[in-house]
Every structure is written in structure tokens, then in C-alpha cells.
Structure 1
Amino acid sequence: MDLILWRHAEAADPERGQSDMQRALTSKGQKQARRMAEWLTSQLPESCKVLVSPALRTLQTVEPLGRKFKVMPELAPGADPHELLRAANWPHARDPVLIVGHQPTLGQVAALLLSGQPQYWEMKKASAWWFVQREPNEPASLYLKAVMAPDLIVK
């Protein structure tokens, strides 16, 4: 199974009276989202399922990808890393799964997959980490296929 974790792009600080869920992308964040969406479009198979947090910044991050996606409340800020993996049906999903979410959860998931512990690993804004587990019942078949950040994409 392929699991791609995509952290939302740069978002504005909350305005007075605004909830964290309503934070929008900055202009820099919009550019980051477009660049990563172009790279992901060139890499992802058509069969990839896209799961997104209900926060505005994640919805705006995934929009340039131009694919259907499912909004999942269990991916909201503060999500449990084990719940995120359950939402993705890791490692048993037939098709690749792209999750657009938040720190620290995405970093915890990356750490859990690679080290067995949900540690606090940093994942840069708008970056994507691509994991592959060749055999669902063989944790040793897991590897990190790619880590990409928008500033590494050459146009």
C-alpha cells in the first residue's frame, strides 16, 4: 500500500474571533499548494484516494490537485495518529491513499511507521512524505519512497 502524507501549506494566523478551523492559506501557502499539487499530479496514480481534514487550510491546500476528495472529521487538527492510519485503512487499502492534514499528527504518523513510536517529528508546511508497504502483513516491507517540499520542485 502507498500512503502519502501531505501537510497543509502556510496558513495565516487566526484573526480575532476566528477559530483555528477557519484559518486560510496565505498567498505563499497558495503558491506552495499549487507547486506540490503539480508534483503530486505527476506522481499519483488515478486510483489514489484523497482524504482531507475539514479545516479550511487543508481544503485550500488540496484544491489545486483537482481531484475528488473525502473530508474526514477524524483528520482534523489534534487527530490521533492511530485514527489517521485507520482512516487510511493502513496497510490494507487496495489503492494508494493521500492524506492532507496537520502537525503534529502527520509527523507522529511518520515516526510511528518508521520507528514504531508516535514521536514528534517535524514535517514542513506543504511537504509530502510517501510511504510504501509492499506486503500488508510484513512491516519489514515498509520503506520511505519520497519526501518532497515545494521549494525543492524545479519548474
Structure 2
Amino acid sequence: MTTTRTLLLLRHATAEPARPGHADADRRLSSRGEAEADGVGAFLREQGLVVDRVLCSPAVRTRQTLERLGLDAPVELVPLLYQAGSDEVLELVAAADVATVLVVGHAPAVPGVVYDVADPGSSSPAASAAVADRFPPATLARLEVAGSWADPSSAVLVEVRLPAGADGQHFV
């Protein structure tokens, strides 16, 4: 029997603009971003999605996004996620030995993973269309991978949740 694994990819919620004299990694969530992150947390609870491990960038905005989700899961702050490419994200996920992994990170890596591994033939057409040319802050994508994390090359994009105000919210 093949094990199905779940990969949740979340781009951090909306952050404040850059502040003179402050590093980009220190940007905080805006009030809009706080509400977006709260919405993602509510969505995860409504869907009954249980996260076994979280891989999170150490940037302030990603940590604040994660905190507002209200999850009870082991968290690993991974410095590499701050400027990772999609290949590096996939390597980190492959090292996880759990059924459900949530990655809280940044563009272009988070959407890049979706674009790189989602199989167009078996993925949800509505979910694929929802992120075909955009992946705004607070977008959550759920992919399912049959078998091992080592080969997610034909993952199924099952659903996408866009933040409110981004032409709807939930695409299955």
C-alpha cells in the first residue's frame, strides 16, 4: 500500500513595507497580514488538517505568520528558507520523515515548488488556475505526494486557499 504524504506550502502573510535602517528579515506583519494569517489558521482547523512538522524561515514575518496559525506541531526554524530556491525547499521536505509537512516561507521559492512539482494532468484544474500567474502573500497550497518525499515530481495540487480579496478564497 502506498503512503500518501501531504505538503502544505504557505507564503507568509502581508508584511509591512521595508523600513529604513532595518533588515528585510526584520519586516513584521501588517494588520492586514495578521488577519490573513488568522484566516489561514482557521481554515486549517476547519479542514481538519493536522500538521506533523513545520519548516519555517526565521524571518520575523514568517514566524509571526506561523504563530497566528495556532498550530500544535514541532517547528524547525530553517535559515536556508529565507533565500532558498524551490530545489532547496524540496530537499528540506525530503529529509522530513512525517506524513504532513507545512513550509512557511517566501516567494519565489514557495510558489516555485508548486509550479515545479504539481502534475498538471492529475491536479485540480481550479486550484492550478488559481495560482497559475500569482501566489500572493498568505496563499496556502496543499499537495499530495504518493510514496516517499524523495520523489515529489508528480505531486497532486489538491487545493489552494487565497487570502480574502484575491478573487475568492478556496479552490479545489
| Same structural fold, with TM-score higher than 0.5 when normalized by the shorter chain | yes
Task: Please give the alpha-carbon distance, in whole angstroms, between the structure 2 residues aligned to 1:45 and 1:37.
Answer: 10
2:39 to 35, 41, 53: 35
The answer as to 2:70 corresponding to 1:66 is: yes
Please state how far the C-alpha of 1:61 moved relative to its aligned partner: 0.5
The answer as to 2:157 corresponding to 1:149 is: no
Task: Please give the alpha-carbon distance, in whole angstroms, between the structure 2 residues aligned to 1:107 and 1:36.
Answer: 17
- Tell me: CA distance 1:56–1:101, structure 2 relative to 1, closer, same or farther (3 Å): same
Contact 2:53 2:102 in 1 (8 A): yes
1:48-74 residue CA offsets vs partner (Å, 9 max, x unmatched): 211110000001101122234221111
Provide the residue aligned with 2:146 in structure 1. Answer: 134
User: What SS does the aligned partner of 1:88 have?
Assistant: helix
- Tell me: CA distance 1:22–1:129, structure 2 relative to 1, closer, same or farther (3 Å): same
Provide the residue aligned with 1:57 in structure 2. Answer: 61
Runs of 5+ in structure 1 lacking a partner? none
Provide the residue aligned with 2:127 in structure 1. Answer: none
Q: Give, as a single letter, the amino acid of the residue that structure 2 aligns with 1:124.
A: P
Q: Give, as a single letter, the amino acid of the residue that structure 2 aligns with 1:86.
A: E
1:87-116 residue CA offsets vs partner (Å, 9 max, x unmatched): 1117x7432000000001111111110269
RMSD: 2.5
Task: Please give the alpha-carbon distance, in whole angstroms, between the structure 2 residues aligned to 1:29 and 1:94.
Answer: 29
- Tell me: CA distance 1:139–1:50, structure 2 relative to 1, closer, same or farther (3 Å): closer
Q: Give, as a single letter, the amino acid of the residue that structure 1 aligns with 2:85.
A: D
Provide the residue aligned with 2:129 in structure 1. Answer: none
- Tell me: CA distance 1:82–1:42, structure 2 relative to 1, closer, same or farther (3 Å): same
Query: TM-score, normalised on structure 1?
Result: 0.84
Task: Please give the alpha-carbon distance, in whole angstroms, between the structure 1 residues aligned to 2:109 and 2:66.
Answer: 18
Task: Please give the alpha-carbon distance, in whole angstroms, between the structure 1 residues aligned to 2:6 and 2:114.
Answer: 13
Task: Please give the alpha-carbon distance, in whole angstroms, between the structure 1 residues aligned to 2:41 and 2:47.
Answer: 10
User: What SS does the aligned partner of 2:94 have?
Assistant: coil
More moved, 80-89 vs 139-148: 139-148
Structure 1 runs of 4+ off > 4 angstroms? 137-141
Query: TM-score, normalised on structure 2?
Result: 0.76
Please state how far the C-alpha of 1:47 moved relative to its aligned partner: 4.9
Q: Give, as a single letter, the amino acid of the residue that structure 1 aligns with 2:30.
A: T
User: Between the two proteins, what is the percent identity of the paired residues?
Assistant: 30
User: What SS does the aligned partner of 2:39 have?
Assistant: helix
The answer as to 2:12 corresponding to 1:14 is: no
Provide the residue aligned with 1:4 in structure 2. Answer: 8
User: What SS does the aligned partner of 1:50 have?
Assistant: strand
Runs of 5+ in structure 2 lacking a partner? 121-131
